[in-house]
Structure 1
Amino acid sequence: MTVQDPDVVATSGAESAAAAGPRAGQIWLTVRTVSEGVTVVAVSGEVDMLTAPQLRADVLPHLDESSTLVLDMSGVSFLGSAGLAVLVEASQHAKRRGAAFRVVAVERAVTRPLAATGLGEVFSVFESVERALEADEPR
């Protein structure tokens, strides 16, 4: 008897699976150092109560190591309250350290929760990584 995971979509080949992106309950993170003390963490997938702990575990240590952290959420397809809580915590952590915390938000899935909660006014939010990196200092 074969049991198939209902969350698995049948694809052919590794390229197809990679192109599909993260499944529900998963996020992908890519970290790159742009220059000394400047780190960009790109997130894709759904940031919800299942994935927010992973986001937190990956972002906070980079704030300890960087003077500027850009969190690129342009690949995020859902941002729930647990994800918003991680952003608030990261912002507070950065302020305590005197570091800059900048968020890149272009998709409605991210911009709408930020606007609805008023957090878009609290964080330094940019429409691209390039603009976030060009900013002289956080708002």
Structure 2
Amino acid sequence: MIVSRPTPQSVHSDQPDTTPANPPQPTVPTRRAGEEELAQGQHRLDPALRMSVQRPAPGVVVVSMNGDIDLAAAPRVTELIRQRLTAAALRTLIVDLSMVSFIDTTGAELLLKAQRRADQRGIDMHVVPGQGCVPRLLDLTGINASLTCHDSVSTALAHAHHQ
């Protein structure tokens, strides 16, 4: 014999149901520290490219870069180098990449274009690739044969002073 017992939900009553008819709401996870920046398109580890310009001697400019040179940074790098190469009194441009943490083929292309523009204007361009990823990319692509590379900024400056 099967006996069926009523459950609290199946009990019928003549009184109207007073329970709210709101469907269950999904839980929304709260943001952890740092996620607000990510939601706004910023990076938690700031790989932004920092650039500085120094003029150690008349007619000599050193452009130093620290960070990532990629497609996102390309317009800034291109504009900065273009501005330096169009300066009337510029004799030598030194591009210091020793603190670059990442470079892709966009960065390699920028170096080649800068070298061509420097050659057209009669400006000596020297590159300091450093020890990290930059010399590896230059070697793999064969671009190092088209550039004048030095071990340090001081070596590039000494070479610039002798010309």
Moved over 6 A (4+): none
RMSD: 1.5
Does residue 1:38 correspond to 2:60, yes or no?
Answer: yes
Of structures 1 and 2, the larger Rg is shown by 2
- Superimposed CA distance per residue, residues 68-125 of structure 1 (whole angstroms, 9 cap, x where no aligned partner): 0000001101111111111011000000000001000112210000000111111000
The answer to whether the aligner puts 1:54 opposite 2:76 as a matched pair is yes
Contact 2:97 2:128 in 1 (8 A): yes
Count of residue pairs brought into register by the alignment? 123
Distance 1:121 1:28, change over 3 A: same
Between the aligned partners of 1:98 and 1:56, the Cα distance in structure 2 is: 19
SS at match of 2:86: helix
Report sequence identity in percent: 28
Q: What is the CA distance between 1:56 and its match in structure 2?
A: 0.7
> 2:10 aligns to what?
none
Q: 2: CA distance between counterparts of 1:103 and 1:113?
A: 13
For 1:5 and 1:134, the matched residues in 2 are separated by: 44
Partner of 1:19: none
Match of 1:69 in 2: 93
Cα pair 1:47 1:80 within 8 Å, conserved:
yes
The aligned runs of 1:1-139 (5 Å cut-off) are 4-6=36-38, 7-8=43-44, 23-24=46-47, 26-65=48-87, 66-135=90-159, 136-137=162-163
Task: Please state which structure has a larger fraction of its residues in strand.
Answer: 1
Partner AA of 1:85 in structure 2: E
Report if the CA contact (8 A) 1:40-1:71 is conserved: yes
Q: Distance in 2 between matches of 1:86 and 1:39?
A: 17
Structure with the larger helix share? 1
Residues 39 and 69 in structure 1, CA contact (< 8 A), matched pair in contact too? yes
Q: Provide structure 1 residue ranges, at least 5 long, that are not aligned to the other structure.
A: 10-22
After TM superposition, the score normalised by the length of structure 1 is 0.83
Q: Distance in 2 between matches of 1:130 and 1:29?
A: 18
Gapped runs of 5+ residues in structure 2? 1-29
